[in-house]
Structures are given as structure tokens and as C-alpha cells.
A and B are shown apart, each in its own frame.
Chain A
Amino acid sequence: MTITRRSMTGGLLGVWAAASAGGFRTPAAGDVAAQPGAGPEFLTATELSFVSAYADALIPDTDTPGAVSVGVPALFDRMMATWAGAKTRGDLRRLLADLQRDLAQALGKPFEEASGDARLQALTVVDAQRFAAEPATIPGEYRQFKILITRLYYSTHVGATVELRYEPIPGDWKSDIPFSDVGRSWAK
């Protein structure tokens, strides 16, 4: 059985164009976020730089665009500006400062200035430490941050339809099919 993927249309070229724009990359056409060309609304330039480096290390470009290429840092900034309350914002600011400090200590330089391999190595360690330190049942601040970055990625057009699979209008329910007919996780 072949799954018709009506959603796999019209997105790739626009996505890669956005990915190559550099700087404060706004999300691909169709994704919602900050106004095109606008700067960050909540994060400071330093925070934005770190969030971008973190998102790039967490979900890098591979055979599909990664988090930075599809504009996740801008989406995250917009989310903090329009959705988050004071406590969430404050918690996030403290978390970002802690992460920046811990990673800089591990690397001997700011996380953003390290090479890709070094970033990956350092973040792997810090990520594992954070998971070990937070309660297993209820995500703490670090896990919430990681979940949010990841969720934003899989909610973009590329994250949902290129990296994973998403059908806006499935049309019918097929209750039991081979996984190979889909080939990837459903984004939602």
C-alpha cells in the first residue's frame, strides 16, 4: 500500500532558500513566527546566539534541514514573547545562563564559538547530566526547554512533512498497516 502524501508539495525549495539566508533566520514560508526581517522580541542577542547554537547541535542539518535552517530559534523567541508568562520567562533566562556557563566551562570558550564536533561532545555530556538530575516523572526546566525546541521543530512544515510524516487530511482510518508503508514517525 502506498500512502498518498498530499502535504509533500511546494515546500522544499522555499525551505532551503530560507536556510541559506543566514543571520536571524525566519521560518520557512508558511510557518508562523516573527515578522520577516524582524529581530528577536524576547531573547537578547547573546541568548539568541546561544539558543541557535543549542538548537543546531540538538537537531542539525543532515539529509534534511535541521532546527536552525527552518527557523526554530525565531519561533522559540516568538513563543517566549507571546505565550510565556513571567515565571516561565524567568526560569528560562536562568536556565540559559546556567547552560551557557556549564558548556563554556566544559569547552573553555563560549559554546557558540566552539566547533561543531566539540559542541556535540559537550552538549551530550551536559544533556545527560541534566536528565540525570531532574525527576524522571516530571520534566524539569532543562527537559521542558529541550521538549519545546524539539516540538517547535516537528511543528514546522519541514519538520512535520520532510523529516517526519504528516497528513493534514488523512481522509480515512487504516488501523493496522506495515510501518514500512509510512516509513517515518507521524509528526502528529
Chain B
Amino acid sequence: MADFDAIVIGSGMSGGWAAKELCEWGLKVLVLERGQDIDPAKDYSDMTLLWERPHLDQIPEDEIRDKYTIQYGTASYAMSDSSKFLWVDERDQPYETPKDRPFNWVRGYHVGGKSLLWSRQTYRWCPQDFENNKLDGHGVDWPIRYEDLAPWYDHVEEFAGISGSLEGIAQLPDGKFLRPFELTAGEQHFRDKVEKAFPTRKVIPGRCAHLRETREVHTSLGRSQCQVRNHCHHGCTFGAYFSSVSATLPAARRTGNMTLISNAVAQSLDYDPASGRVTGVNVVDAITRAGGRHTAKMVFLCAGTLPSAMILLNSRSEKFPTGLANSSDQVGRNVMDHVTGASARGVLPGLLDRYYYGRRPDGIYIPRYANFTERDKPYLRGFGFQGGVGRRGWTADRPGVGKDFKEANRSPGPWIASIGAFGECLPNPDNRIRLHETRKDAWALPVAVINCAWGPNEIAIAQAAAQDARDMLRAAGATDIKMFDIPGPPGNAIHEMGTARMGRDPGTSVLNGWNQAHDVKNLFVTDGACMASTACQNPSLTYMAITARAASHAANLLREGQV
């Protein structure tokens, strides 16, 4: 007799949604979270005033060196002394890469996972994004199309609360939006100039998971309107941005159907060859290191793109000697991320009598145009830009001292425009994660060996995107333009995907069109591991929609006795 109807491994973006949906379908659900529990009242630091934060809230340099070297190189914008506990101590879970193929692995192990760390940009994919693999032959064909996911995008957007503007852009479908964070004067100027110079391109307000206004579905969970503080990476006491902690887990909890165990590090899944099913999840306590086992009728694996693959690879049996659900040999392969680093910034003259009020947790977005509205590109797929145009604030990085220096900082500087690309990454089976044969982490689990590098298409995208960014700034009249075209290492976008991809053919993919393992009918994987391609949009909204869809299907299967 199983302990639960379902076990959800991971409580982040995908795990929170799996828990909510399955609980609301009436299932008894156990959520296993490898990190600590989060109490917003105790753990969030967003209500601390600017002048109440010791040493400018910067993490001590020695601590960065010892614990956060890699993550700080990627996510220093989000890391502070008062919230550093939300980031993994890299000594606890080291990993290896070839020396010439770095991978920046950013992790947050706690209830809520990276839903407490994300930058909350939320974009739908468009129909073409689900067709590109088939059209250009890279990767495997997605087993679903936009139409399959569209109602689930609606579903998750209404619950999460997405701020955005209705634009009617084919390559970036509109959704169920709350009102947008409007453009600054500088951004309006930038938009007008860019859209005039490049009629195939659009500049729109960013779409983000913030409650610009509230609905009953939000307030019933204790969430309230965004206060425009931009303290998001300290946690949000108002619950104004979407996270598992503010939204999905409370929704799951109020059903009375959820049990959540924190500090439970999932180690492996047990497989019963007689029934062809997963029968249990083996865990180790993160604090005591004690082992344990939990059972359920089905498992939703939502530990994160790399950890989910590691759990599968660590679940070996006679039937699956290279890892559970790995008859295709695709588990751990096709590691993808968005290529970043292509950007430009410059100074926009004028508009010095205009300003703004509030610290907007959002910016502008330039949807993909390459190989969509512009077909003349020497590379495949495309990229979108995120950025903003704001006034330079006070600065000490200029000559001058005394009263004049002080006086000069009383007025803001010119408008600074900055845009950076997120480019699509092609699936490549040689980009992979595997388990080290001997080396173990703090929980005696094999450490990861990640071998991943950009291919020529990603390099070409980065170079083209940088030049396009420069050209758009020129078109906007910017001066002192600086262009950057060297891609950051994979992992830098913190959009890792693809290690247990969906597909139509069990011989070349791990999951079917319902995120159900081809090999194991009561195993579902709905985090970034399931992605067969990356598109160029930030992926979290798609994880949410895919998870909700899979959970609905799984609940039906359970009801019908088919899992």
C-alpha cells in the first residue's frame, strides 16, 4: 500500500505547480524538498531599510570565494548578505567540467527553489517554437504543439498573475495579463525610434509575474499588489511576485492534501520490473544524513533540470542499468541554456526634464524577429532582448570633490539605454551531464560531471545579437555606445533545460507528450529537463503550463487506474 497518491520531488517552479494541481484534483501528495523550509516572516529581508543593512548588504569577499564563486559570477545582481542562505554553498555539492568547457550552475535549495530567485520574466512560446525542431532537423520533434498548451498558459497566467500588455505579436502570443509596467520616457523614445528604423521589430513592456493589480484568486492566498520596491530577491512579504512560497504551495496546503518534508534529499527511485512502475523514492536527510524511503502510486520529478537527470541516472536497476527511464540513452543529454552576453548600452540625449517614481521590477522586451519577421539570417532560430532605459543615478565614478560633487549628484544623469539578448540554443546530445564514478557530495551522492559548450549557431547568434543591439541604439540616437559580443558560459542564463526531453519516439526521447516517461508509466518529469528545445523566451511560464497540463492528465490516469 503506497503512502501517498503522488510524490512530487522538488518544490520550486514546477514542483509547486505539480503539488497545487494534484492536490486540487484530490490526490494525497507528498512534496519532498531537499533544502530548508522557508518562513517568509523570519527569512525574508525585504522589509529592512536601505540604511539598516550592514556593509551595504554585500556578501563578505572571503565568503564569496569560499561558497559562491561560480554563482556570484552569474547572479551577483540577486545575491546579498541578507539573502545569501538562498544560494547553494558550492562546497556541499561540487561538480566537475572540462577545463575548457565551463558551466555556471546556479542553485537554490530550499522550499520554493529558484522561484524565490528568478527574475520573473514570463513569456509564452509561439506555435513556431514547437515546430522548429521538426522544420530544421535539430533535436526531436516536440510531441505537443502550441494549441495543446494554450489553455494551460491561460490557466497558469490567471493564477500566477502576469503583468503585460496586449500587443498582437505573432511570435509572442498575448496572454491573460494584468496591467503592464508602462515604459519610461526614455523607453518610449527608444521604442519610437527603433520601430521606425526597423518596422519588423517591436519594443514592449516586459511581461513579468508581478501583481500590478489583484484578483480574488490572488488575495484569497494572502497576496497583494506589487509595491514597486524591487526588493524581490530578498523575498516579498506582500507575496506580490509569483513563487511557490507565495502561491502554489499555499494553494496546495489549503486543500488539506499536501504533506511537505523539507531537508529530504531525493537520492534515487526504486523500480519494480514486474509492474513496470516506480515504487518508491529513497531520500537522505540533509541535516542528519539518515536515509529514508517514501512510496506513492506515481512520482512527479521536478527537482530541476540537472538534479532530475542526476536522480534518474542514480536510479540503476537490471532493467535500466544506465539510469531509470533511460532506454533511449537520452537522460542527461541535450543540456541547453540560453546564450547570453550579447548586449549593448549607450546614452540617449535629451528628456532631462522627465523622470519616474518607483523601482520597477521589470523592463522592456524586444521579441524575437530573426527568422520570423526577418528571414535573411545566416543562423538558425533567434533571440529576444531584455533591458531598459533609465536615468543614471548619482555616481562617484567621475572626477570632482566637494560641494560641486555633492550638488552634481542631486540631479540624475542622462538616460542610459541597455539591452541584452537571450538566444536560442540548439539541442546537442553531446552536451550532457553524467555522474562521477567515485566522487561524492556532502550527502554521499555522486557529483555531476557537466560537459557542455556552445556550438557555432549559438556563437553566431551572440555576435549577430550584439551588432543588432548596437544598431538599435544607434537608431535611437544613442551616443557612447558600448557593445559586448562574447557569450557567457552555458548556465549563465540560469535557464538550463533538456536532460530528459519530450518526444514522439521512445527510441530518441525520454518523455511522451504528457511528460510521462516512455519507459515507466507512473513517472512524470515536468521541470526544465523535459524541454525538447529552448526557444528564446524565458522558460518558467512554459514549465508551469506543461506541469499543470501533465498533472491534470496524471490525475485522470490515476482515477482510471491506468498508472
Contact = CB atoms under 8 A, between A and B. Distances in A.
B355 A178 contact: yes
Interface residues on A, range: 35 or more
Interface stretch (B85-93, B176-184, B279-287, B368-376): B176-184
Contacts of A58: 401-402, 405
B165 interface: no
Interface string A82-115: 1111111000000000000000000000000000
A62 interface: yes
A154 B55 contact: no
A166 B402 contact: no
B409 interface: yes
A60 B60 contact: no
Contacts of A82: 54-55, 60
Interface stretch (A16-24, A44-52, A144-152): A144-152
A37 interface: no
A74 to B, nearest CB: 12
A179 B51 contact: no
B185 A85 contact: no
A28 to B, nearest CB: 8
A9 interface: no
A179 B414 CA distance: 12
A127 B188 contact: no
B60 A83 contact: yes
A78 B184 contact: no
B56 A152 contact: yes
Interface string A123-134: 110011001000
B388 to A, nearest CB: 11
A185 B358 contact: no
B184 A176 contact: yes
A185 B410 contact: yes
A162 to B, nearest CB: 11
Interface residues on B, range: 35 or more
Given A58-B405, A147-B397, A176-B184, A181 B227 contact: no
Interface in A25-74: 27, 30-32, 57-60, 62, 66
B399 interface: yes
Interface string B373-410: 00000000000000000000110111111110111011
Contacts of B356: 173-177
Nearest to A137: B482
Contacts of A186: 359, 393, 412
B394 A179 contact: no
A127 B406 contact: no
Interface in B179-199: 181-185, 188
Contacts of B398: 131
Contacts of A187: 50, 393-394
A170 B119 CA distance: 20
B42 interface: no
A149 B60 contact: no
A120 interface: yes
Contacts of B55: 78-79, 82-83
B61 A151 contact: no
B101 interface: no
Given A85-B61, A123-B401, A176-B185, A154 B394 contact: yes
B136 interface: no
Contacts of B53: 32, 155
A175 B399 contact: no
B357 A164 contact: no
A99 to B, nearest CB: 12
* From A120, A152, A157, A177, residue with most partner B Cβ within 10 Å: A177
A146 B360 CA distance: 28
A170 B60 contact: no
B352 interface: yes
A78 B54 contact: yes
B289 interface: no
B319 interface: no
B227 A171 contact: yes
B396 A149 contact: yes
A139 B394 CA distance: 16
A101 B182 CA distance: 52
Given A78-B54, A160-B51, A176-B185, A182 B401 contact: no
A182 B405 contact: no
Contacts of B216: none
A179 B412 contact: yes
Interface string B44-66: 00000111111110101110010
Given A152-B56, A167-B358, A181-B355, A173 B411 contact: no
A181 B356 CA distance: 9
Given A78-B55, A178-B354, A185-B394, 20 more contacts: A27-B51, A30-B49, A59-B405, A60-B402, A83-B56, A85-B60, A85-B65, A88-B61, A124-B400, A139-B397, A150-B396, A157-B51, A170-B227, A171-B227, A171-B228, A172-B358, A176-B185, A181-B357, A182-B355, A185-B411
18 contacts: A31-B51, A66-B406, A84-B60, A123-B402, A127-B401, A143-B397, A147-B397, A149-B396, A151-B396, A155-B51, A160-B51, A166-B50, A173-B356, A173-B357, A173-B358, A175-B360, A176-B356, A186-B412
- A-B residue pairs, 6 tightest by C-beta: A85-B61, A150-B396, A170-B358, A83-B55, A174-B357, A175-B182
Interface of A: 3, 27, 30-32, 57-60, 62, 66, 78-79, 82-88, 120, 123-124, 127-128, 131, 139, 143, 146-147, 149-152, 154-157, 160, 163-164, 166-182, 184-188
